[in-house]
A and B are shown apart, each in its own frame.
Chain A
């Protein structure tokens, strides 16, 4: 069931009414309802793996409780690593087994050996990357005694399966989520109103921009040879806009839906298209993944390698971005994606340039020319790198860049632009960028605090966006990040 479908609207309305008006206002009943709704939601999306995820959650729950009962020492460490291996094993099997088998077969074939015709066709459970990282983070936090394990199984399962985030995050921390559901939630009209606005903004980005960009980008990436350089360049630049609108749209809807139930999820995007450098970008893009990687990969690694000085830092950064890359899936494009990110990052880290104030902290209407140039440079660099996530293989990526050069009008006689983008779509993208620029210090584009906008105008804005979403909603297009 997709967030941008009519079925979800009906499902959400029913669960919301039940949550606030039918079930007793105790955390037990509220959580039981949310868990039941979440299980139904997941079952409707991917029934075949529901039992697996349920079993895995119960194992993690029991394991965490067992860990704290053990004294510090080898036994506890063994159980902890067993838990880590279990979670990683599931992820590796479902996400990377096909890749490894194919790679081995290719290697054997290149050595002139028969692979025995062994073929593995493992299906990917929806949301497994997000789910596994959540479980791993929980176990690590319990092991390091940063949190107490959740004793209440109902609360724990609600944390794991909470439907707004189960399929594509954000990767929620137990210490942030659990305290919110351990007390009865009170209906807060302000929070609900904010949630509704956030959902609307998410739908605008997803339905009006990302879904509309999809066919254009698919056409160009599908047959780059047939298009002029300008069109290919446009598609490469627009892909990052598409994936941003798709994923940030999804995240905004997830955060908004959670607010309808009185729960705040972690912010996943902080206007990354306005980033001025690579560290700024990764502080704003898929924040829940980046912060997970920093806490559980980069920090421990740099601690272990601290004696190696800058070399240790370089290794820690490289490993972290390698993990970020392959988190997206099993493909060489993701590996190269991770390597490129670390190449961009290392000079900044070695030169101690991380942690400077980002552009979000300024409230100026227009950026200073220097900053604007850096933002533009960053946007171009990231566009070219993120295109890797869209290209199915390194060969296709090379073909795209090659076509961009070969089809240049002076070389080929082909037109610069062979496929113009719809004018209304350009307008929507400009509107989104302008609104997000103005609202860059806030959680989403429709937060009106400190803006003197009359109520009627706000109402009109909501109506226009809602109408655009109705007009543009197609067949309930999937979210790009579901594949990761």
Chain B
């Protein structure tokens, strides 16, 4: 064998491998795009964001609402989901979007760009991204490998899609998954240790460039589609609240989203038995929280203070004092 022959063979090999992967990705994408994204009739509210809302809003207890939030979800994917679901569901008029104390912290861009999250998120969301969104991954080798692995990772879906129609529930897009795990004690002790050792990382709220960009885009998208985007901060344990840089958080909202509907339920009083850990509700907590949310919604969302009190409740409390 000559050197030229070896190089040629290697070239053909790489070319064939590339073509095979491109074709299989294209087929997977087209099957995913064929999915019916229509929600049940009457649905007008979509819930998106990360694990805090994923575990807090039990959409089986709140009518006309679909929760598709998912742990570790970057705003990039929330935006892409919102775009496609708005198109498929003209009746949607409200988006609840997770916006917690960590949402725009500088480490949150790892949700978009780190190898770990690319591996977990891209195979499930890549088909929703348009060329502009996909540009984020241009310089990230892990994204190419993950895309090549996508047909294998989504093999179960592909088999189902080939056999018959699929709907949004087949996409593994997240959704409420109540948990009965009890990790609060452990989490609190870890936080206490960090506090003691002084290893708590100083937060830099607003420093996550991708998160900031795609949060803004999601809000703009909602405006363009006539959808009300409500930023939602779900209840957290008082210890977690104490450990967060709430000053920077509220200052950011004041500065950047002064007119944006913002439901801050972080200080709603829940017993420890309602928490999975310091920042997540468990199934019991989700039931209580969602029931209360629904009650408020049915009252037309009276303005609440940070303790979750309606003006009446607040006045009553003041009078009692």
Q: Which residues of B contact A471 (CB under 8 A)?
A: 148-149, 151-152
Q: Which residues of A contact B12 (CB under 8 A)?
A: 459
Flag if A467 contacts B1 (CB, 8 Å).
no
Q: Does A462 contact B (CB under 8 A)?
A: yes
Q: Which residues of B contact A196 (CB under 8 A)?
A: 10
CB contact list, A229-250 vs B, under 8 A: none
Q: Which of B3, B119, B141, B142 contacts A189 (CB 8 A)?
A: B3
Q: Does A121 contact B (CB under 8 A)?
A: no
Flag if A6 contacts B152 (CB, 8 Å).
no
Given that A470-B149, A475-B115, A475-B116 are contacting pairs, would A463 and B5 also be in contact in the complex, using a CB cutoff of 8 Å?
A: no
Closest 3 CB pairs of A and B: A471-B152, A189-B6, A189-B1
Flag if B1 contacts A190 (CB, 8 Å).
yes
Flag if B152 contacts A187 (CB, 8 Å).
no
Beyond the given A6-B142, A459-B12, A470-B17, could you list 9 further A-B residue pairs with CB under 8 A, ordered by the A residue number? A189-B1, A189-B6, A470-B148, A470-B149, A471-B148, A471-B152, A472-B152, A475-B115, A475-B119
Flag if A6 contacts B13 (CB, 8 Å).
no
Q: Which residues of A contact B132 (CB under 8 A)?
A: none
Q: Does A193 contact B (CB under 8 A)?
A: yes
Q: Which residues of A contact B141 (CB under 8 A)?
A: 6
Flag if B17 contacts A467 (CB, 8 Å).
yes
Q: Which of B1, B6, B17, B142 contacts A463 (CB 8 A)?
A: B17
Q: Does B16 contact A (CB under 8 A)?
A: yes
Q: Which of A189, A472, A475 has the most CB of B within 10 A?
A: A189
Flag if A193 contacts B13 (CB, 8 Å).
no
Q: Does A124 contact B (CB under 8 A)?
A: no
Q: Which residues of A contact B142 (CB under 8 A)?
A: 6
Flag if B13 contacts A467 (CB, 8 Å).
no
Range of interface residues on chain A? 10 to 19
Flag if B17 contacts A192 (CB, 8 Å).
no
Flag if A467 contacts B20 (CB, 8 Å).
yes
Residue of B nearest to A462 (CB): B13
Number of A-B contacts (CB under 8 A): 44
User: Cα distance A470–B141 when bound, in Å?
Assistant: 13
Q: Which residues of A contact B119 (CB under 8 A)?
A: 474-475
Flag if A189 contacts B145 (CB, 8 Å).
no
Given that A459-B13, A463-B17, A467-B20 are contacting pairs, would A473 and B145 also be in contact in the complex, using a CB cutoff of 8 Å?
A: yes
Q: Does A466 contact B (CB under 8 A)?
A: yes
Q: Does B2 contact A (CB under 8 A)?
A: yes
Residue of A nearest to B115 (CB): A475
Q: Does B21 contact A (CB under 8 A)?
A: yes
CB contact list, B217-254 vs A, under 8 A: none
Beta-carbon contacts of B140-156 to A below 8 Å, as 1s and 0s? Answer: 01100100110110000
Beta-carbon contacts of A449-484 to B below 8 Å, as 1s and 0s? Answer: 000000000010011001100111111000000000
Residue of A nearest to B9 (CB): A193
Q: Which residues of A contact B115 (CB under 8 A)?
A: 475
Flag if B145 contacts A463 (CB, 8 Å).
no
User: Cα distance A193–B9 when bound, in Å?
Assistant: 10
Q: Which residues of B contact A192 (CB under 8 A)?
A: 6
User: Cα distance A472–B145 when bound, in Å?
Assistant: 10
Residue of A nearest to B6 (CB): A189
User: Cα distance A463–B18 when bound, in Å?
Assistant: 10
User: Cα distance A192–B3 when bound, in Å?
Assistant: 10
Q: Which residues of B contact A474 (CB under 8 A)?
A: 119
CB contact list, B151-186 vs A, under 8 A: 151-152
User: Cα distance A476–B113 when bound, in Å?
Assistant: 17
Q: Which of A187, A470, A472, A475 contacts B21 (CB 8 A)?
A: A470
Residue of A nearest to B7 (CB): A189
Residue of A nearest to B17 (CB): A466
